[in-house]
Amino acid sequence: MAALKDTKLGKTEKKLKKKQSRLRRTLLKHDGIEIQDKPTKILCVNNAGLDTGVTRDEVFEVFCKYGETDDIMMLPKKPYCFVCYKLVENAEEAYIHLNGYTIPATDTRKSSCTFYISFVSKVPESLSPSNKLPPGLILLPDFISEEYGQRLLDSINWKEPTFQAQQRDLKHRRVKHYGFEFKYGINNVDPDDPLPDGIPTICNDVIKQALQTGHVKFTPDQLTINQYEPGQGIPPHVDTPSAFEDGIMSLSLGSQVVMDFRHPDGQHLSVLLPPCSLLIMTGESRYVWSHGITPCKSDIIPAPGGGLTLAPRGLRTSFTFRKITRVKESRKLEERDCKQCDLENDAAAAELEKLHVHQVYDNIADHFSGTRHSPWPRIFEFLKQLPAGSLVADIGCGNGKYLGVNNQICMIGSDRSQNLVKICQERNYLAIVSDILSIPLRTESFDVAICIAVIHHLSTKDRRLRALSELLRIVRPKGKVLVYVWAMEQELHQVKSKYLKEKHFDDKTEQTLLSCDQQEVEKSAGSYNYLGEMTRLQSESEACTAFIREDKKCSATESPNIQSFHECTDTVESQNHKVFTITHGHSNKEVTESSNKATDHHIMVDHFVPSSSSIGNENACVAMEKMVSLDTKQTDLQIDLVNGCTDSQSEKDKKKWAKRLEVHVNRTQFKQQDILVPWQLKNKNQNNKDIKSENDECKDANTFHRFYHVFKRGELEALCRELEHCKVVNSYYDQGNWAVMLEKVVEI
């Protein structure tokens, strides 16, 4: 028996060494950290990170038994954490007793976790403050004296708020507003609803001194005071571009803190904010880089004698000064907060879509798929009515929710996102990775092609035309093409789309609102067949036409038997985003046909924050340099998407067609056609409302931004009529989307 026991111990030791060897390679490859053979104060504990579902409290409960800890550092998207002891002896004792220790499963974590521990001498450099600052970020240490800082702190009366809107206790901090209340529900301020108390006069010297630096061009009229206890933080975010002017100032009092700045291309810089320092965010750091504070009880800061050390956090209070924008009308919102970026050719447009569409969907594929369960009713019915044996291509198939609708037809899916295609393949669907602009399918080989919520991601008119042409190419003569795009009109005939109605969307419980024309089709008792006709009473084209006329009104009703999840009902929260300028080279005739004379265009483009491993920094930087350049003499930040402008065109002609591009606030009416739309990536446990910890904000994933062009009434049909061999059979409005049924015309 003794020999058998020794054999088991030998296997355990081998397993531990194998796990530690794997951890050694991972740390060295991704974080540049080497495992130490000799004991140190810092333990790296694999399988105890946020990515495995282990909480900070669980780690503390296990490791606190062996000595006093300086900190437990839980890193976003990492399967390991760092436990920092005050004494090497304590760390060594914890290593002896806990290496190989298994914590049981919980209600929120379905499996147990075995800890594999190693000694390290440092933590990832990305956690330590950097001397490098994002472009446009100004840090002024010792901006005010300690005495003045204390007077500012003493002036705050947290116990007796003058009125409720002025002071709130949030989950991770206390806040107090002056001048205007920042409303976290909409991530904005109401310029027509000022607070009774303006910025306290005791702050006048701070404002005066800041203006004298020349970095701030506007006198602030809004102040938010945040107070953070040790261990509290704030998720990564960008202050709402349309709400405040360029140049946001934050004065740090009390404890130091490390603020994390992240660029959409994956760059990450940690900036140490000492007490009495003033941080000024301008230009790119204001509008492109997100900023946040990781909820930890200590910070890694430079040690006086060199190297790094842990500094415990104390009570920290920040005074954030802003200047609000008072103009509310969309046409007057001069979104001046971007830099010049010319998409002078198709390659540059492709780079934009690569960064703000393709790579976004690859990053959010799992979460996106989790919100796409139910086929849209009209598309479902169309596919169900196709003759048996029909060959159908789903271009932009996503997670494949339409590929299994009708087992009597043969469907092939394609999508630009490799990760979404993998999900299709895991569901045993036939799907390939391909670009809609170059579909690798044989010409005239399909009976039907569907393209749902894809073409609105293309950034120029020419690319949208090419996509439609490719769809027509792959279908046989008289073959059908069904196309859906997101509509600018999210309210039609005084009926709001689900996108506007649903502030809190639940895919499991939502009952879809049928579109007006769909209800009429049902009332007519007709069926929608393969040719896109009504077999009884009237053609669907006639029914749809009747319901999209201006003089017709109808109301939507709920259907309790059908569930639907539309493109416009993403489960995301409003985020703060940047405004860009887009320049189109349309002719007068084109603008007239599209009814674009009086209103601005919108492109939905969502910035995203991928991990550094998902995108090569060099390639991403090159792409961004093509689109964004920073002029230090100019505070306006703009992006010009030049569509069709030639070198011979004058600057006056180019500016004539300049349109403003802003980041859209979710669940509101579109103000423009070319816009950016946010997607907030949730972690796996985020849907469990009862589970919260001080690290929840750390676990909240990044916000991504996708590019869109939302279509006006008639624009999609006009685009299709520019193509050869294309007949628009019918068009209709379906829950915030414009749809067309096309037929490939037979050549005579």
| Strand positions, DSSP E, 238-331 | 248-254, 257-262, 268-273, 278-281, 290-293, 298-302, 308-312, 316-322
For position 308, what pLDDT does the model report?
54
- Residue 238 tokens read as 């960008």
- Please identify every stretch of the chain with a pLDDT value under 50, giving residue numbers as ranges: 1-8, 163, 165, 327-344, 503-660, 684-701, 748
pLDDT at 616: 38
* Side-by-side strand order, sheet with 42-46: 35-36, 116-120, 42-46, 80-85, 69-74
**Beta-carbon neighbour count of residue 78 at 10 Å?**
19
| pLDDT in the model for residue 621 | 38
Q: How many CB atoms sit inside 10 A of residue 509's CB?
A: 7
* Inter-CA distances, 127 with 47, 328, 551, 630, Å: 19, 40, 61, 27
- Cα–Cα distance measured from residue 722 to residue 714, given in angstroms and rounded to the nearest whole number: 13
CB atoms within 10 A of CB 7: 10
CATH H-level, domain 13-124: superfamily: RRM (RNA recognition motif) domain (3.30.70.330)
Q: Please indicate whether the domains covering 13-124 and 137-328 agree at the CATH topology level.
A: no
CA distances from 378 to 505, 538, 562, 732, 741 (A): 21, 17, 11, 11, 12
Q: What are phi and psi of 244, to 5 degrees?
A: -130, 155
Nearest to 256 by CA among 171, 139, 175, 85: 139
Contacts of 563 (CB under 8 A, 6+ apart): 373, 374, 507, 510, 511, 512
Going from N- to C-terminal start, the domains of the chain cover 13-124, 137-328, 372-568+715-744, 570-709
Q: Which helix (H) or strand (E) holds 481?
A: strand 475-486
CB 416 within 8 A of CB 408: no
CB–CB of 297/71 below 8 Å? yes
Q: Look at residue 276 and give its three-state secondary structure.
A: coil
With a CB cutoff of 8 Å and minimum separation 6, the contacts of 339 are: 283, 284, 628, 629, 630, 631, 634, 636, 637, 638, 639
Residue 204 pLDDT: 94
**137-328 maps to CATH 3.10.20.740:** no
Give 372-568+715-744's CATH code, choosing from 3.40.30.10, 3.40.640.10, 2.40.50.70, 3.40.50.150.
3.40.50.150
H-type alpha helices, 700-740: 715-721
pLDDT given for residue 160 in this prediction: 65
